[in-house]
Amino acid sequence: MTSSSSSKQNISLEEWEGKMAEVPIAKSDLNQLIMNYLIIEGYKDAAEKFSEESGLHSSVDLGSIEERMQIRFAVQNGDIKTAIERVNDLNPDLLDTDPRLYFHLQQQHLIELIRQGKASEALEFAQDELAPHGEEHPELLRELERTMALLAFDVSVSSNRSPLAELLDFAHRQKTANELNAALLAAHSQPKEPKLPALLQLLAWTQDQLDEKANYPRISNIVNAVLEEHKQQPSSSSSSGAKDGN
């Protein structure tokens, strides 16, 4: 009986590289891809340097990246009031036209008050600022109730054991910061997400699909992007033959 691996097509490294060389890829497209990543992820200095070296001029004001990153860093540091003030200076209409985003920023501020042990201030803030949002948008009430439940736990001692611990994790700040960053980009008619990560995900998916049909040089480490030639495994027949010889 023929194994599934023996029925796969075997492609050598030389043949694979030859096929890749036949695919036309414009350097300008690669430069655009890199610039897209640097701008959206907020690497202002790197974007300016790359623009100089590549001769690629972005339609985006690179100076605006720094303003956007200051807002992002404020959220990541838990300084939500500063973030909201900077957003209103940069785009006064953004939070008025996106009530879900504004709620999530206020929710994060509530989390920070609870984290600091300011229970009375947290209750007052939830009643004055967040409750009205819940009345206008009932789908947000569940999130508010879940956040308020943090008051039932001693977050300074047992936050890691609380079923609501994820709200206190840095990843929740990051999630809120990413949501705000995407909204700021969209408000300036820029893509919300860089293209490069999506292409890398597509590469991984494509290789998984191709693994079922062929043995070929694949990229196992996307950091160095080195093609690793497939190593042939000894067939079961040769293994059994060796045993018989013994």
Global pTM reads 0.72
**Quick count: other Cβ atoms within 10 Å of Cβ 49?**
12
Q: Does 128 have pLDDT greater than 60? A: yes
- Tens-digit pLDDT profile for residues 157-171: 555 556 788 899 999
Please, are residues 88 and 95 in contact by the beta-carbon 8 Å criterion? Answer: yes
**Quick count: other Cβ atoms within 10 Å of Cβ 236?**
12
The predicted model gives 115-136 an average pLDDT of 90
More confident call, 41 vs 110: 110
- Nearest CA to 194 out of 211, 202, 182 is that of 182
Q: Does 78 have pLDDT greater than 90? A: yes
Instruction: Give the C-alpha separation, 47 to 56, whole Å.
Output: 10
pLDDT at 100: 93
Q: Does 15 have pLDDT greater than 60? A: yes
Please, are residues 162 and 153 in contact by the beta-carbon 8 Å criterion? Answer: yes
Instruction: Give the C-alpha separation, 106 to 110, whole Å.
Output: 6
- Tens-digit pLDDT profile for residues 167-211: 999 999 999 999 999 999 999 888 888 888 889 999 999 999 999
Distance of CA 9 to CAs 5, 57, 187, 192, Å? 9, 44, 49, 40
Pairing of strands 214-215, 9-10: parallel
Return the bridge partners of 215, or none.
10
Q: Does 235 have pLDDT greater than 60? A: no
Instruction: Give the C-alpha separation, 166 to 175, whole Å.
Output: 11
Average confidence score pLDDT of the chain: 86
Percent of the chain with pLDDT over 70: 88
Pairing of strands 218-219, 9-10: unpaired
Position 52, amino acid: E
- Nearest CA to 75 out of 173, 147, 145, 143 is that of 173
Instruction: Give the C-alpha separation, 125 to 68, whole Å.
Output: 26
Chain-centroid distance of CA 116 in Å reads: 28
Tokens of 117: 């042990």
Tokens of 31: 């430069």
Percent of the chain with pLDDT over 90: 43
